[in-house]
Amino acid sequence: MYQIMKAEKLADKIFLMDVHAPRVAQHCEPGQFVIVKLDEKGERIPLTICDYDREAGTITIVVQEVGASTTKMGSLKEGDYFRDFTGPLGCPSEFVHEDIETLKNKKMLFVAGGVGAAPVYPQVKWLKEHGIDVDVIVGSKTKDMLILEDEMKAVAGNYYPCTDDGTYGHAGMVTTMVEELVNEGKKYDVCIAIGPMIMMKFVCLLTKKLGIPTIVSMNPIMVDGTGMCGACRLQVGDEIKFACVDGPEFDGHLVDFDQAMKRSQMYKTEEGRAMLKLQEGDTHHGGCGHCGGDE
């Protein structure tokens, strides 16, 4: 059992938790993820590591309520437990292994969309700790949905918030912001984009045009997260890769996003049913013969 040491609501349906998992905290690096399982009957869900404290033995995760399992997780309080918490999984971000002096000469741009700010944060923080300043664009639908702003400001060289509805920062999508910075004369050697697949796809289309090598962190469906099933497989260039062991970070210009997005929709109906059952509780009638119910 893995205890929740801190639980905090960051925005509507977005929650941050510090979880006590010393083995994970001891070995994790930016870019890696964990698999969590809430209780006996729960499913295994991958979540990117948002921060870690090796001394305290804790891992910070950010959960957005998007389905039945994450909604249950959203109701967890400080002192509650996850039954299972496995990691760190996947490969660390490439720059962790690079020479610091080489890195210092690189101009890096991070682009985060929505809760993608959570996995971007430990990378930017790691770079800051190694004396490297990077530009960070964070996009969200609206001002109230923007998360980890103070934290990000503290570690980013330049911080550019954007909102789709223009309620805060620059008005418009993250891609508009990327174009704007490049038009201002900024040059980037690498772009790291993390967020919903559709956002990563459009960032990649743009950066390909602009000639900026781009790394994305893929978030396909996973089960075990250790390479034993291939649920998370992706077409990357002419190879099939398992995101859980070969990634989750890949060359964004080689990823087949359309296929990846299609695969993400595979369980849509099952997910919808699970959500309905949770919302309607005991009043959930199921199987009336008209709606498809539970069967």
Partner 1 sequence: MADMLKKVPVREQDPKVRATNFDEVCLGYNLEEAMDEAARCLNCRNAKCIQGCPVAIDIPAFIHEVKEGNIEEAYKVIGKSSALPAICGRVCPQESQCEGKCIRGIKGEPVSIGKLERFVADYALENDIKPVGAETQNGHKVAVIGSGPSGLTCAGDLAKKGYAVTVFEALHELGGVLVYGIPEFRLPKQKVVAKEIEKVKELGVKFETNVVIGKSTMIDQLMEEEGFEAVFIGSGAGLPMFMGIPGENSNGVFSANEYLTRSNLMKAFDDSYDTPIIAGKKVAVVGGGNVAMDAARTALRLGADVHVIYRRSEAELPARVEEVHHAKEEGVVFNLLTNPKKINVDENGNISSVTVIKMELGEPDASGRRRPVEIPGSEYDIQVDTVIMALGTSPNPLISSTTKGLETNRRKCIVADEENGQTSKEGVFAGGDAVTGAATVILAMGAGKAGAKGIDEYLSGREG
* 62 known member of a binding site: yes
30, 31, 46, 87: which one contacts partner 1 (CB under 8 A)? 87
Is position 227 an interface residue for partner 1 (rule: CB under 8 A)? yes
Least Å distance, CB 276 to partner 1, is 13
Half-sphere exposure of 167 (CA within 13 A, CB side): 10
With the C-alpha atoms ordered 15, 21, 25, 31, is the resulting torsion angle positive or negative? negative
Show the binding pattern over residues 32-71: x = contacts partner 1 (CB under 8 A), - = does not. -----x---xxxx-----------------------xx--
7, 14, 24, 127: which one contacts partner 1 (CB under 8 A)? 24
Within 254-273, the residues that bind partner 1 by CB under 8 A are 259, 262-263, 265-267, 270-271
C-alpha 4/C-alpha 53 separation (Å) is 14
C-alpha 54/C-alpha 159 separation (Å) is 27
The two beta strands, 214-217 and 249-251, are: antiparallel
- Type of residue found at 88: P
* 111 known member of a binding site: no
27, 54, 153, 187: which one contacts partner 1 (CB under 8 A)? 27
Residue 171: in which H helix or E strand, if any?
strand 170-171
The answer to whether 217 touches 48, Cβ cutoff 8 Å, is yes
Is position 205 an interface residue for partner 1 (rule: CB under 8 A)? no
Buried-exposed string 207-234: b where 16+ CB fall within 10 A, e elsewhere: beeeebebbbbbbbbbbebeeeeebbbb
Report the binding-site residues for [2Fe-2S] cluster: 229, 232, 244
Residues lying near partner 1 in the complex (CB under 8 A): 23-24, 26-27, 37, 41-44, 68-69, 83-89, 223-224, 226-231, 233-235, 240, 245, 259, 262-263, 265-267, 270-271, 274, 294
